[in-house]
């Protein structure tokens, strides 16, 4: 809704006596938990609910369905252990923000709430610190949160808006801002919150009167999410029927939050869509086998660094075996490295620092990475973890690098130079061999502790393999290729859709009781959730010099159905 239309809808709301502590998140959580939500025929709106009242400076907004059927389908996914984590999380949130405050979802919210609810995280002036357990409800005074509830049936909502359940000891103060009433609830401990009603269309809850004032200012005409053309376009192009979740991430605000609160190693930002993006938005749907996400990311209109429209990552997957444990593939290694070098923020002593990495190659091999290696790496590339055909108790997985060369002669020259460096400087055994009639060169370290091989998968794709016997898994070609198994199988001989980059992880095989590679120990709740995943796949397609689309698929186990 544009400014003129929004202003025409504004009028004083009726008084509301919503006396519940911490309700900014309370009602939102109630709406999230599907098995408490009523079934209702729904349609997909063009934009998430509340887009016209959520300020543009929001960090993150999540809009979730209130449809029972979709939540019940979601709860069929997973294992008894992962489902127990979800159920306990629901109970924690319900008790923390609903039951303890005298509010019952079925009685007080279900009769009037619309098809979707939105919860938005606003930026804070001070660091919140990383949460110790993201599944647990955190004190509301540590974050600025807004919850927007569409009032589908105003007549049914009057009871909770005019005479709601009251939490013992809560104090209510009526305020007026821009002609609209705000009710400030002073609850026990950290469970304060504020609320307002916008023209009997939305019930808006926030963690303080100040954050409610931001929403009212937006309703009065300050920039909203709806006013952002890129935001509107993102949801128009990622719309899906029966969506479960729609999300928006304000990338500049998220970068500031990550950097300030040290929520993840800052150097890794150079490998994520957050690095230069203005926004990330998408839609999640739930199927009988897992979840699918379709999303879009875009650069600022005045961005100095633009996307290079190149979507060539399609052939590599056919070169990898079906039992690949994990792989990442891209369209052009040279372009990838140039962009990473320009954007990386890792400190000089970090191996993620591009200058340090190149210096390491130069020191170890005597080759100039830019001239002798990256210059011919102008095509598709991949890095994959592949089970060894002949594993040993100490080594069961190999590492495979494939690169499509733009200059085979230059590639051969570089590989010959590496042969000589390893032979003369490091005393490796360097010997030619045959694998199913295909020539390879093996490098074997003194005492045989390391074994490398290099060769050609076809006339234009070179490979470097770490691990004895790994070449026999890929030469002359895999018995069954990764393209022939889910989620990449297209049926028949249809080629995989060309994209800019792809990722795949066989989580089920990585998380066995005897994992093929060392893995960090996860907290029990996170471990239960991860072990419910079979495979994870993702792809990115460059649309234009500013926009990209991505798809994520998660295949989830279904055991012990409720």
Domain annotation covers residue 298: no
* Joined tokens for residue 560: 């012990």
Asked whether residue 554 is domain-assigned, the answer is: no
Q: Around 117, how many Cα atoms within 13 Å sit in the side-chain half-sphere?
A: 27
Within this chain, do residues 78 and 227 fall inside the same structural domain, yes or no? yes
Q: Which of 308, 454, 324 is nearest to 388 (CA)?
A: 324
Q: Which of 162-166, 290-294, 341-345 has the highest mean pLDDT?
A: 290-294
Looking at the fold, whether 237 and 320 belong to one and the same domain comes out as no
Residue 133 lies in a domain: yes
pTM of the model: 0.86
Which DSSP state fits 521?
P
More confident call, 37 vs 321: 321
In a domain, residue 29? The reply is yes
273 in the same domain as 315: no
Give the range with max mean pLDDT: 23-27, 41-45, 179-183, 472-476. Answer: 472-476
Residues 236 and 323 both lie in one domain: no
Nearest to 30 by CA among 76, 93, 87, 82: 93
CA R_g for the chain:
27
State the pLDDT at residue 23.
32
Domain-embedded: residue 275: yes
Regarding whether 161 and 35 lie in a shared domain, the answer is yes
- Among the ranges given (99-113, 351-365, 466-480), the one the predictor scored with the smallest mean pLDDT: 99-113
Q: How far apart are CA 135 and CA 188, in angstroms?
A: 22
**pLDDT at 81 exceeding the cut of 50:** yes
Give one DSSP letter per residue of 55-109, joined into a string.
BTT-SEEEEEE--HHHHHHHHTSB-HHHHHHHHHHHHHHHHHHTGGGT--HHHHT
Q: Where is mean pLDDT largest: 38-42, 47-51, 341-345?
A: 47-51
pLDDT tens for 375-391 read 999 999 999 999 999 99
Residue ranges making up the domain that contains 222: 3-290
> Contact, 443 vs 451, CB < 8 A?
yes
| Residue 363 within a domain | no
* Mean pLDDT value across the chain: 84
Let me know whether 280 and 405 are in one domain. no
User: Which range among 14-18, 302-306, 405-409, 530-534 shows the weakest confidence by mean pLDDT?
Assistant: 14-18
pLDDT per residue as tens digits for the range 437-468 = 999 999 999 988 899 999 999 999 999 999 99
**β-pair partners for 195:** 183, 205
| Residue 359 lies inside a defined structural domain of this protein | no
- Give the model's pLDDT for residue 407: 98
Token digits of residue 97: 């923000």
| Per-residue pLDDT tens over the stretch 16-41 | 323 222 333 333 334 333 333 333 33
- For residues 380 and 319, the answer to whether their CB atoms sit within 8 Å is no
Q: Are residues 94 and 238 in the same domain?
A: yes
State the pairing for strand pair 547-556/429-435.
unpaired
Do 63 and 131 lie in one domain? The reply is: yes
Q: Check residue 152 and give its pLDDT.
A: 95
Does one domain contain both 453 and 316? yes
Give the torsion through C-alpha atoms of 401, 407, 408, 413, to 10 deg. -90
Model pLDDT, residue 320: 96
In a domain, 19, yes or no: yes
Number of domains in the chain: 2
Asked whether residue 224 falls in the same domain as residue 315, the answer is no
Residues 92 and 173 in one domain: yes
* Model confidence band, residue 192 (pLDDT cutoffs 50, 70, 90): confident
Q: What is the pLDDT of residues 221-248, one digit of tens each?
A: 999 999 999 999 999 999 998 999 999 9
Confidence of residue 112 (pLDDT cuts 50, 70, 90): very high
| Contact predicate 308/501, CB 8 Å | no
139 and 212 both lie in a single domain: yes
pLDDT above 70 covers what percent of the chain? 80
Q: 280 near 95, Cβ under 8 Å?
A: no
Report how far apart, in Å, the C-alpha atoms of 105 and of each of 26, 66, 97, 371 are. Answer: 10, 12, 11, 65
Which of 210 and 143 is assigned the larger pLDDT?
210
């Amino acid at each position: 809704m544009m400014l003129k239309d929004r202003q025409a809808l504004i009028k004083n709301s009726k008084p509301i006596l919503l006396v519940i502590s911490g309700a900014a998140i309370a009602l939102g959580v109630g709406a999230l938990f599907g098995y408490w939500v009523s079934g209702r025929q729904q349609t997909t709106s063009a934009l998430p609910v509340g887009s016209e009242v959520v300020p543009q400076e929001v960090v993150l907004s999540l809009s979730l369905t209130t449809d029972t059927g979709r939540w019940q389908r979601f709860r069929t996914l997973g294992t008894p252990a992962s489902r127990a984590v979800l159920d306990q999380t629901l109970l924690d949130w319900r008790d923390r923000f609903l039951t303890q405050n005298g509010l019952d979802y079925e009685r007080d919210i279900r009769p009037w709430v619309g098809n979707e609810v939105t919860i938005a995280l606003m930026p804070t002036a001070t660091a919140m610190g990383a949460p110790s357990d993201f599944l647990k409800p955190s004190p509301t005074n540590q974050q600025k949160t807004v919850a927007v509830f569409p009032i589908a049936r105003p007549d049914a909502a009057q009871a909770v808006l005019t005479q709601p359940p009251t939490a013992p000891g809560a104090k209510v103060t009526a305020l007026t801002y821009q002609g609209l009433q705000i009710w400030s609830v002073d609850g026990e401990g950290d469970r304060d919150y504020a609320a307002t009603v916008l023209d009997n269309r939305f019930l808006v809850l926030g963690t303080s009167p100040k954050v409610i004032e931001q929403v009212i200012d937006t309703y009065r005409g300050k920039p909203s999410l709806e006013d952002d053309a890129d935001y509107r376009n993102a949801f128009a192009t990622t719309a899906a029927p029966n969506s479960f979740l729609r999300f928006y991430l304000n990338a500049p605000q998220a970068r500031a939050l990550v950097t300030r609160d040290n929520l993840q190693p800052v150097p890794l930002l150079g490998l994520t869509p957050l690095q230069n993006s203005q926004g990330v938005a998408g839609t999640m749907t739930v199927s009988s086998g897992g979840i699918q996400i379709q999303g879009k990311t875009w650069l600022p209109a005045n961005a100095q660094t633009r996307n290079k429209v190149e979507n060539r990552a399609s052939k590599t997957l056919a070169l990898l075996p079906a039992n690949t444990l994990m792989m990442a593939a891209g369209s052009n290694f040279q372009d990838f490295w140039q962009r990473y070098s320009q954007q990386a923020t890792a400190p000089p002593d970090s191996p993620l620092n591009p200058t340090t990495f190149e210096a390491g190659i130069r020191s170890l091999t005597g080759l100039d990475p830019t001239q002798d290696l990256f210059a011919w790496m102008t095509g598709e590339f991949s890095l994959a973890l592949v089970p060894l055909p002949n594993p040993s108790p100490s080594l069961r997985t190999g590492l495979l690098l494939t690169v499509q060369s733009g200059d085979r002669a230059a590639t051969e020259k570089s590989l010959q130079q590496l042969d000589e460096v390893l032979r003369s400087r490091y005393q490796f055994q360097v010997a030619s061999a045959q694998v199913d009639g295909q020539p390879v060169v093996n490098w074997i370290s003194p005492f045989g502790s390391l074994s490398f091989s290099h060769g050609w998968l076809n006339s234009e794709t070179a490979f470097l393999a770490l691990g004895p016997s790994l070449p026999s898994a890929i030469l002359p070609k895999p018995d069954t290729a990764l393209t022939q198994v889910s989620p990449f199988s297209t049926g028949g001989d249809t080629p995989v859709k060309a994209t800019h980059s792809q990722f795949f992880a066989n989580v089920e095989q990585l998380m066995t009781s005897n994992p093929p590679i060392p893995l960090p120990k996860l907290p029990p709740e996170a471990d239960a959730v991860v072990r419910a995943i079979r495979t994870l796949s993702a792809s990115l397609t460059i649309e234009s010099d500013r926009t990209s689309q991505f798809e994520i698929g998660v295949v989830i186990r279904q055991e012990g159905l409720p």
